[in-house]
Structure 1
Amino acid sequence: MSSDADVWMWLADLILGLHAIFILFVVGGQILIVAGWVLGWTWPRHRLFRLLHLLAIGFVMLEAWLGFICPLTALENILRTAAGAVTYGNGFIRYWLHQLIFYTAPSWVFTLIYTVFTGFVALTWFIYPPRRKL
């Protein structure tokens, strides 16, 4: 691989990592919100955290409803193409991170999952609301 290809591949891996962090924020954030509710923590009621969390999963659900490809996925694919890569053939972390994030199922399954999860996030917004000041 040339040095240009190395740079493109590195940028694609960076986007994949950001994608994983986004997913961790959405899923892990909801786990922490519910845990905070059960355990009486105050920080999961921080208004900005809760708003960003709701907007993040709402964006994912809207993408699914409209049939849009995730911008992070599209950007990663562009960068991998620029690097001349077609597969995740090398790199342990790259391979397993990709296996964790992308799995095969019909698109309606993901739309249903995103919609139900967004409903759960919205429900916790109302039954365990954020606070302006903690």
Structure 2
Amino acid sequence: MLYRLAADSLVLFHLSFILFVLFGGLLALKWRPVIWLHLPAVAWGIAVEVLHLPCPLTRWENLLRHLAGQDGYGAGFIEHYILALIYPAGLTADIQLVLGAVVVAINLAVYGWLIRRYVQA
């Protein structure tokens, strides 16, 4: 039970990290110190998508599921809804490259706007 709870919590953290990579630049518009957390997160997110690096969170999630006695992801709310967002069916290397490009585009737009606001101030 404890391992499953830890695995589910890690999945939620994983999703939060992905959302932070995508939209954390918007937080930087309000709280500039967030930039120092967001930029390394974006670099890691892009590297994982473009270079097909293994994400340690995925490995830890699977290890915790194994320790909980599960062969794979179960059929609970977390596994059914959240995992499908993080690990969509049919995810290919080409799709990962597109996702990496989306991350770059979103963050370039946000940081371009942030820099322009900073220069004009």
- The answer for the alignment partner of 2:100 in structure 1 is 114
The two structures, once aligned, show a CA RMSD in angstroms of: 2.6
Does the C-alpha gap of structure 1 residues 21 and 120 become closer, same or farther in structure 2, counting only changes over 3 Å?
A: closer
- Is 1:57–2:52 an aligned residue pair? no
Question: What is the CA-CA distance between 1:55 and the residue it aligns to?
Answer: 2.1
After superposing the two structures, state which structure 1 stretch, 15-24 or 56-65, moved more: 56-65
| TM-score, normalised by the number of residues in structure 1 | 0.70
Question: What is the CA-CA distance between 1:50 and the residue it aligns to?
Answer: 2.7
Task: Find the aligned partners of 1:20 and 1:7 in 2 and give their Cα distance.
Answer: 20
Percent sequence identity is 28
Please list every run of 5 or more consecutive structure 2 residues that lacks an aligned counterpart in the other structure.
none
Aligned residues: 117
Q: Specify the structure having the higher radius of gyration (Cα).
A: 1
Does the C-alpha gap of structure 1 residues 44 and 8 become closer, same or farther in structure 2, counting only changes over 3 Å?
A: same
**Which structure is higher in helix share?**
2
- The answer for the alignment partner of 2:111 in structure 1 is 125
Please list every run of 5 or more consecutive structure 1 residues that lacks an aligned counterpart in the other structure.
1-5, 37-42
- The answer for the alignment partner of 2:11 in structure 1 is 16
| TM-score, normalised by the number of residues in structure 2 | 0.76
Letter matched to residue 2 of structure 2: V
Ranked by relative contact order (alpha carbons within 8 Å, sequence separation 6 or more), the top structure is 1
Letter matched to residue 85 of structure 1: Q
